[in-house]
Chains A and B, each alone.
Chain A
Amino acid sequence: MSDAKLFRGEEKPTWCPGCGDFGILASLTQAFVGLDLYPHQVCLVSGIGCGSKLPYYMKANGYDSLHGRALPVATGIKLGNHDLKVIVISGDGDGYGIGGNHFIHTMRRNPDMTHIVENNQVYGLTKGQYSPTSPKGYIGSTSPEGAIEVMTNPIAMAVAGGATFVARAFAGDPKHLTQIIMKAIQHKGYSLLDILQPCVTYNKINTYDWYKERVYKLDAEEGYDPSNYAAAWDRAKEWEERIPIGVIYQEESRPTYEEQVSQLKDGPLYRQSLYQDRELLESVKREFM
């Protein structure tokens, strides 16, 4: 059996005291243990931002890439070695802002990986500028009169964009969060998990208390069926007064990206021989004659 100790990193996190990222790190570890995964079977791929530092604090394969660019790197890793459990860790600016185009197109591809977005609705590491998920009117160092853009709704984007698993969790409820992470990892295909993660330093609006007053668990709602697209769409639009957490949408029939790449049928790409058959190469020469 796997053990949380195996995942314990040597570095002390640099997150602010009270940051929601601590809970996410703990829940992710618990989820790996719960699924009996070992550090070498996992590959954490992150972008840049507070949350994207997570791979430093967990002992597992890790690739900290560029701001906004974790998804394509992760897709390449997954197609290169589809035996790895690939987990993408990004923030809201990273995942929905600068990396927004990758988000849209990764959903279309449906690679079997989990995309965790630590959504604190603010740019923390650059000290409090508004992010794509900051509410309209958010006052920050670059928006002294309040942001005039409306906020992105990542859940609705994912439901509309073809994600096969769309979920939301709250960093203030680590037990529930662990369950949802496990479900996301178990899903065969691209799973988006947007985690409401209060930034205790810069976001004075979306605090733990603000969320606690609003979040409710979908799994406790009688009759809620995540495979019902219309129902999912209704829940995806909820915000402000009531915010659903749990699995909002799941489609289990769509094949994954890597299942549809014919060259991967014989096993992971990285294990295939580099040596081409000489007679085959000679026949390619003849094609040019």
Chain B
Amino acid sequence: MVVVNNLTFKMGGEAGQGVESSGAGFTRAISRAGVYVYGLQDYMSRIRGGHNFFQIRVSDRDIQATESAVHVLLPLDVDTVNEHLHEVVPGGVVIMDAPMKVEDARLTDRGVKPIRLPLTEIAQREGAERGLPATTAKLMMNTASIGVAAGIIELPFEYIEQVIIDNFGGKKGSKIAEANVAVARAAYDESQREFAADFEYKIRPLEAKPRMLLNGNQAIAFGAAAAGCRWISMYPMTPATSISEWLASHSKKLGVVVKQCEDEITAILMAIGAAHSGVRAMTATSGGGFSLMVEAVGLSAMTETPLVIAIAQRGGPSTGLPTRTEQSDLQFVIHASQGEFPRVVLAPGTIEECFLAGQRAFNIAEKYQCPVFILTDMNQSTAVRAIDPERFDFDAAPIDRGELLTNEQLDALTEPYLRHKLTESGISPRALPGHEKAIVLTTSDEHYENGQAVEDPEPRIAQMDKRMRKLDLAAQDIREPLLEGPEQADVTLVGWGTTYGPIHEARVLLEAEGLSVNHLHYHDVWPLPKARTEKVLGSARRAVIVENNYTGQLALVIRMVTGIDIPHKVLKYDGRPFTGDQIAQKVREGVIAHV
């Protein structure tokens, strides 16, 4: 029986062997064939050596996560076989360079088929024919491996060829591109001739409009730029850096100033300064960098300076797991910095939501003149998915600068301007420094309406009340959690941010088994949408929190705000993202089995 357009590849090797670039290229080739793909990168905090892999799941439907089962393993080294052979399903294959020292029996005992071809030899032969140095030629072994994989699944070769040409500058005729195409072609032909007939998983191109392939960081950066973000100041930190890198690579095209600073303290303060002068400004970091930024979060709140902070979480505490995923900073972000003040935390769960969060964050920051967080994680930052381009809607969040006074309004001022004027809504109309009618004074100290520092109780209470009223008001910009599946179900899976994908996949699996399951997903976490939470969880039969952390932080927030306890927990803190089948299995064992 032939399985069409549903399989998973995994390519693994040392850092420096080209796992990431070949994996990304192969993912794009498959995506261009009109099928859905989800690509997960997994790498270590080092430039050379170690073990990295790239996993590509292919489906005929829009998938949101990877799965544990692997059908085609492409090891560029023996370690990859040792690490991942157990994931390969019976009927699956392992594509190896002929001399690789792996006993075939290890594979055949599991019903897995070894496919051995002289990959390095092919690379060296084709490279030598085109006059490439031997060391360069040898590197094309990964291209040969991709060629073999494409051959057995019978993906038409033109998709591979075009991606190779694009990767080497988009032009035919480059020697290195030609050599890679030749290597892929030779490997492809031999693989198809010798092995394709016995392999039951195939990719058959579908008629589809071209899809975008991108990760959450790129989506946040693109959304921000589309919303008029003109500034990002940052300090490099995995896994947040690619937000700034994408903006830097588009800084000319989109008019964004990108400033790398001496540390994260400077990064956030420069962004606050730029925002104070009237620019839509952001910074991006991970937990460690955010720890340094914490004092300035309160400055943004106290001076009522709109600010967007993107935080891509990784495993903590301290340096923790630099290139691994975790959701352990939710409580930290909600509470960070001394004192009490309004803030908003968005936690996009899909790449589309990352794009939308990038747009919305600036509107919310300017409307409520407070810090707004976009909280994601390593998995969201690096995993790529094929997305229909119309799902990025430029009109989904039209630019709204809140109560920002125009030049005409300032010209008409008859009284001295008060930066922190007491208003019913709590929002003080904002003037930018530079207009002769409005002297803008503000301070990190508690202040009078005019921005002068004060310690007296009465103005203190008035300003506190004013600021906190904005938090109540900001609730109107918070989206209710998404409920997927029936309104009432036997099991309610609860998650936030990046676990949307695997929980969604788990629900699909469990529903297919006839179980009644729904999924409550929070894309906006703070202020917590209380009424909807109480309605859904107050009547849930069996609620299960699913989080990539140790303590179940969203469950704690929900209990803090609503008093509702979520009794069942599926928690994972090994630095790896969930797969749908892992969650489904936990639900079967831990929740269904014990009732």
A binds B: yes
| A contact set with B: CB distance below 8 Å | 10-11, 38-41, 43, 45, 48, 53, 55-56, 59-66, 69, 72-81, 83-84, 101-102, 104-105, 261-264, 268-276, 278, 280-281, 284-286, 288-289
CA distance A80 to B225 in the complex (A): 16
Find out whether the CB atom of A80 lies under 8 angstroms from the CB atom of B213: no
CA distance A56 to B444 in the complex (A): 12
CA distance A11 to B454 in the complex (A): 11
Which of B32, B256, B266, B279 lies in contact with A270, CB distance below 8 A? B279
Stretch of B71-79, B123-131, B435-443 contacting A (4+ beta carbons < 8 Å): B435-443
Contacts of A10 in B (CB 8 A): 452
* Mask of B397-438 contacts with A, CB within 8 angstroms, 1/0: 001010000000000000000000000000000001111111
Find out whether the CB atom of B273 lies under 8 angstroms from the CB atom of A73: yes
Q: Check: B262 CB closer than 8 A to any chain A CB.
A: yes
* With A48-B444, A81-B433 as contacts: A261 and B439 at CB distance below 8 Å: no
B 245-285 contacts with A by CB, 8 A: 250-257, 259, 261-263, 265-266, 269-281
CA distance A275 to B440 in the complex (A): 26
Contacts of A262 in B (CB 8 A): 252
Q: Check: B222 CB closer than 8 A to any chain A CB.
A: yes
With A62-B451, A270-B277 already in contact, 7 other A-B pairs whose C-beta atoms are closer than 8 Å: A11-B452, A62-B440, A72-B265, A76-B271, A79-B270, A272-B230, A285-B389
CA distance A56 to B303 in the complex (A): 14
Contacts of A66 in B (CB 8 A): 269, 295-296, 299, 444
Q: Among B252, B259, B265, B441, which residue has the most Cβ atoms of chain A within 10 A?
A: B441
Which of B276, B280, B394, B452 lies in contact with A281, CB distance below 8 A? B394
B 212-242 contacts with A by CB, 8 A: 212-214, 218, 222, 225-228, 230-231, 233
Q: Among A11, A38, A48, A276, which residue has the most Cβ atoms of chain B within 10 A?
A: A276
Contacts of A271 in B (CB 8 A): 278
Find out whether the CB atom of B225 lies under 8 angstroms from the CB atom of A289: no
Which of B276, B296, B303 lies in contact with A80, CB distance below 8 A? B276
CA distance A147 to B251 in the complex (A): 49
Find out whether the CB atom of A80 lies under 8 angstroms from the CB atom of B439: no
Find out whether the CB atom of B452 lies under 8 angstroms from the CB atom of A56: yes
Contacts of A38 in B (CB 8 A): 436
Find out whether the CB atom of A56 lies under 8 angstroms from the CB atom of B453: yes
Closest to B214 in A: A288
Find out whether the CB atom of B444 lies under 8 angstroms from the CB atom of A288: no
* With A40-B438, A270-B432 as contacts: A63 and B256 at CB distance below 8 Å: no
Find out whether the CB atom of A102 lies under 8 angstroms from the CB atom of B262: yes
B 331-376 contacts with A by CB, 8 A: none
* With A77-B276, A270-B279 as contacts: A40 and B453 at CB distance below 8 Å: no
* Mask of B299-340 contacts with A, CB within 8 angstroms, 1/0: 100010000000000000000000000000000000000000
Contacts of B222 in A (CB 8 A): 284
CA distance A289 to B272 in the complex (A): 35
Q: Check: B211 CB closer than 8 A to any chain A CB.
A: yes
Contacts of B438 in A (CB 8 A): 40
Closest to A280 in B: B253
Q: Check: B195 CB closer than 8 A to any chain A CB.
A: no
Find out whether the CB atom of B257 lies under 8 angstroms from the CB atom of A62: no
Find out whether the CB atom of A62 lies under 8 angstroms from the CB atom of B441: yes
* With A263-B256, A270-B278 as contacts: A288 and B265 at CB distance below 8 Å: no
Q: Check: B392 CB closer than 8 A to any chain A CB.
A: yes
Contacts of A63 in B (CB 8 A): 273, 276, 303, 441-443
A269 to chain B, nearest CB (A): 5
B373 to chain A, nearest CB (A): 19
CA distance A275 to B296 in the complex (A): 28
CA distance A157 to B522 in the complex (A): 51
Closest to B213 in A: A288
* With A62-B441, A63-B442, A79-B257 as contacts: A72 and B228 at CB distance below 8 Å: no
Contacts of B250 in A (CB 8 A): 284
Q: Check: B83 CB closer than 8 A to any chain A CB.
A: no
Q: Among A43, A56, A64, A273, which residue has the most Cβ atoms of chain B within 10 A?
A: A64
Contacts of B487 in A (CB 8 A): none
CA distance A39 to B433 in the complex (A): 10
Find out whether the CB atom of A64 lies under 8 angstroms from the CB atom of B453: yes
CA distance A38 to B434 in the complex (A): 10
CA distance A72 to B266 in the complex (A): 5
B 184-231 contacts with A by CB, 8 A: 210-214, 218, 222, 225-228, 230-231
Contacts of A64 in B (CB 8 A): 442-445, 453
Find out whether the CB atom of A81 lies under 8 angstroms from the CB atom of B444: no
Find out whether the CB atom of B453 lies under 8 angstroms from the CB atom of A65: no
CA distance A84 to B434 in the complex (A): 7
Find out whether the CB atom of B442 lies under 8 angstroms from the CB atom of A62: yes
Q: List 24 A-B contacts (CB under 8 A).
A: A39-B439, A40-B434, A55-B441, A61-B433, A61-B434, A63-B303, A63-B442, A63-B443, A65-B444, A69-B265, A72-B270, A73-B269, A73-B270, A73-B272, A105-B261, A105-B262, A263-B251, A264-B257, A276-B225, A276-B228, A280-B254, A284-B222, A285-B389, A285-B392
B63 to chain A, nearest CB (A): 18
Contacts of B272 in A (CB 8 A): 65, 73, 76
Find out whether the CB atom of B226 lies under 8 angstroms from the CB atom of A281: yes
Find out whether the CB atom of B254 lies under 8 angstroms from the CB atom of A275: no
Contacts of B256 in A (CB 8 A): 263
Find out whether the CB atom of B442 lies under 8 angstroms from the CB atom of A72: no
> What are the 9 tightest A-B residue pairs by CB atom distance, in nearest-first order?
A76-B273, A274-B228, A80-B277, A270-B278, A64-B443, A288-B212, A72-B269, A76-B270, A81-B277
CA distance A63 to B266 in the complex (A): 16
Which of A72, A76, A285, A286 lies in contact with B281, CB distance below 8 A? A76
Contacts of B445 in A (CB 8 A): 64
Contacts of B440 in A (CB 8 A): 61-62
Find out whether the CB atom of A101 lies under 8 angstroms from the CB atom of B262: yes
Contacts of A11 in B (CB 8 A): 452
CA distance A40 to B212 in the complex (A): 47
Find out whether the CB atom of A269 lies under 8 angstroms from the CB atom of B274: yes
* With A72-B261, A81-B278, A269-B279 as contacts: A43 and B433 at CB distance below 8 Å: yes
CA distance A43 to B401 in the complex (A): 23
Contacts of A76 in B (CB 8 A): 231, 233, 269-277, 281
Closest to A81 in B: B277
Closest to B225 in A: A276
CA distance A270 to B262 in the complex (A): 24
Q: Among A55, A280, A288, which residue has the most Cβ atoms of chain B within 10 A?
A: A288
Find out whether the CB atom of A269 lies under 8 angstroms from the CB atom of B230: yes
CA distance A11 to B230 in the complex (A): 36
B173 to chain A, nearest CB (A): 22
Contacts of B276 in A (CB 8 A): 63, 73, 76-77, 80
Contacts of B213 in A (CB 8 A): 288-289
* With A102-B262, A263-B256, A274-B280 as contacts: A69 and B269 at CB distance below 8 Å: yes
Find out whether the CB atom of B277 lies under 8 angstroms from the CB atom of A77: yes
Find out whether the CB atom of A41 lies under 8 angstroms from the CB atom of B277: no
Which of A269, A273, A281 lies in contact with B257, CB distance below 8 A? A269
B389 to chain A, nearest CB (A): 5
Contacts of A45 in B (CB 8 A): 273
A285 to chain B, nearest CB (A): 5
B 287-305 contacts with A by CB, 8 A: 295-296, 299, 303
Contacts of B433 in A (CB 8 A): 40, 43, 61, 77, 81, 84
Closest to B222 in A: A284
Find out whether the CB atom of A289 lies under 8 angstroms from the CB atom of B303: no
* With A43-B433, A272-B230 as contacts: A74 and B273 at CB distance below 8 Å: yes
B385 to chain A, nearest CB (A): 11
CA distance A242 to B271 in the complex (A): 42
CA distance A289 to B212 in the complex (A): 4
